[in-house]
Amino acid sequence: MYIKEDALNYHLGGKISVEPTKNMDSSSDLSLAYSPGVAEPCLEIAKNEDLAYTYTTKANLVAIVSDGSAVLGLGNIGPSASKPVMEGKACLFKKFANVNAFDLEINAHSIEEIVTFCKFLAPSVGGINLEDIAAPKCFEIEAALQDLGIPVMHDDQHGTAIISTAGLMNAMELSGKKFKDIKVVISGAGAAGVASARMYRNLGVENIILVDSKGVINKERKDLNSYKLEFVSDTKDKTLKEALKGADVFLGLSAPKILDDEMILSMAKDPVIFALANPVPEVMPEDVIRLRKDAIIGTGRSDYPNQINNVLGFPFIFRGALDVRATKITENMKIAAAKALADLAKLPVSNEVKKAYNLSNLEFGREYVIPKPFDERVKAIVSTAVASAAVKDKVARIANFNEKEYFESLK
């Protein structure tokens, strides 16, 4: 934990900077870096626009674009107040995947304005990470940018979906359940909730119940937008308590401490409870353990097992997409990332990772269904899976992709 003064001091002056990657020590260097030498790559790119990936930073540059309308749990605090978060995101891109990222907080809030801004921005960057943009407009913005020619992803939607899917894959393996047979209840029908429901459905989950602040999304509701209508249930249940009876999986993306003892006890055998409200989850893990020794529990916090942390996804998804010059991020690329994370959790864990988390033992099981962010293997394994999926989906611009060589280069 931290105190306010420590947090403010940490952020003094911002958290990112720009440094030249080439020598700038002589008049000769200056003549190459700028006029007249800079004209040569300009002329080459003018003849072949793809050479921007060769002669500029485009091949390793992501723009983090936000209007500040849905920042963490802080709500609509505006673009300026969102800047510390976006700078932090840029730091994570660099730290975990060596991707350069610039944060761009924009004073534009309509779908049309944000889409137009991103279209104007596209020639400068290799990818766009949409961040902290409120639902439902975030769905329309992302969809409108899929033919931009560079990968565009709204991480608030897909990050949680991908990481929780990895955990769910392993949880189902441990419990011996099949996706088509389980009942999933999702509390929170915003960007992450809808994206998670879509990914679970793609895996074969048929019984998904979404719950928003007004109750269960069922056929009796007349106040639903088109995205919630995708998951209208036939159930007569109206409340979260009713919906949770017999549920195999609870995904919480809503509010702190909304699950009580009765609700936990009403769930099916070997329940999966991913309570991701931060910093206080929908139910504290110790309260679940007190009632259900058979539960698999995950939170968004680093001080409990099975942290569902988006940093396991977005840096490496963009790393793989950038390295094959993908034109978009497909559903198969997201599923590939989730499966790679699920598979990694089954491998022996290094002593370095155990030491980073002050653990003497860490192996696949109920308390370890999702890899740790500081596992040094995540970059190579997830990025390679994403890059390979892009090639298979024919959205990669590069030719002659060698999966083994690429994997080795990232190690």
Q: pLDDT tens digit string along 239-262? A: 999 999 999 999 999 999 999 999
How confident is the model over 345-369, as pLDDT tens digits? Answer: 999 999 999 998 888 999 999 999 9
The closest of 363, 408, 360 to 384, measured between CA atoms, is 408
pLDDT of residue 318: 98
Q: Which of 128, 150, 172 is the last residue of a domain?
A: 150
Final residue before a domain boundary, out of 101, 135, 150? 150
Q: Are residues 274 and 126 in the same domain?
A: no
**pLDDT given at position 411:** 86
| Host domain of residue 102 | 4-21+57-150
The tokens 């921005």 sit on which residue?
121
End-of-domain residue from the set 99, 132, 150: 150
Among candidate residues 331, 332, 343, the one with its CA nearest the CA of residue 375 = 343
State how many domains the chain has.
2
To the question of pTM greater than 0.95 for the whole model, the response is: no
CB atoms near residue 279 (< 10 Å) = 12
Edge-to-edge strands, sheet with 183-187: 215-216, 207-212, 183-187, 249-252, 272-275, 296-299
150-173: average pLDDT: 96
Q: Residues 121, 241: one domain?
A: no
Residues 242 and 377 placed together within one structural domain of the fold = yes
pLDDT above 90 as % of the chain:
91
Q: How far apart are the first and last CA of the chain?
A: 32
Residues 203 and 88 in one domain: no
Residue 223 lies in a domain: yes
Regarding whether 399 and 286 lie in a shared domain, the answer is: yes
- Is 69 domain-assigned? yes
> What confidence score (pLDDT) does residue 302 get?
86
User: Binding site annotation covers 132?
Assistant: yes
Mean pLDDT of 164-192: 96
Q: Do 143 and 271 have their domain in common?
A: no
CATH no. for residue 67?
3.40.50.10380
Mean pLDDT of the region 381-398: 97
Same domain assignment for residues 128 and 213: no
pLDDT at 61: 98
Q: Are residues 145 and 197 in the same domain?
A: no
pLDDT band at 203 (very low <50, low <70, confident <90, very high): very high
pLDDT over 80 at 267, yes or no: yes
CA angle 389, 251, 200 (to 5 degrees): 35
Residue 27 lies in a domain: no
Q: Which two tokens stand for residue 409?
A: 């280069």
Domain of 164, CATH number, reads 3.40.50.720
**23-40: average pLDDT:** 94
Give yes or no: 89 in active site.
Answer: yes
In a domain, 43, yes or no: no
pLDDT for 114: 98
| Marked catalytic residue, from 4, 10, 15, 34 | 34
**Residue matched to tokens 């300026």:** 80
pLDDT at residue 1 greater than cutoff 70: no
55 is catalytic: no
What gap in Å lies between CA 215 and CA 213, rounded to an integer? 6
pLDDT tens sequence across 272-321: 999 999 889 999 999 999 999 999 999 999 889 999 999 999 999 999 99
Is residue 42 in some structural domain? no
* Candidates 83, 89, 228, 379; catalytic one: 89
Q: What angle do CA 348, 351, 357 make, to 5 degrees?
A: 100
- The per-residue pLDDT for 279 is 85
Are both 296 and 232 inside the same structural domain?
yes
Name the DSSP class of 312. Answer: G
Share of the chain above pLDDT 70, in %: 100
Distance CA 225, CA 40 (A): 52
Mean predicted confidence (pLDDT) in 267-274: 98
For residues 187 and 124, membership in a common domain is answered with no
Distance of CA 2 to the CA centre of its chain: 25
Same domain? 258 vs 405: yes
Does the annotation place 309 within a ligand binding site?
yes
Residue 38 lies in a domain: no
Q: pLDDT at residue 135 above 90?
A: no
Residue 66 has pLDDT above 70, yes or no: yes
156 belongs to an annotated ligand binding site: yes
Confidence (pLDDT) at 209: 97
Alpha helices in 307-372 (DSSP H): 314-323, 331-344, 351-356
Mean pLDDT on 198-202? 95
Domain shared by 109 and 134, yes or no: yes
**Residue carrying the six token digits 């440094």:** 19
Q: Does residue 33 lie in a domain region?
A: no
pLDDT digits (tens, 9 = 90+) for 96-109: 999 999 999 999 99
Q: What does the alpha-carbon distance between residue 341 and residue 392 come to, in Å, rounded to a whole number?
A: 19
Establish if 173 belongs to a structural domain. yes
Q: Which helix (H) or strand (E) holds 251?
A: strand 249-252
Q: What is the mean pLDDT of the chain?
A: 95
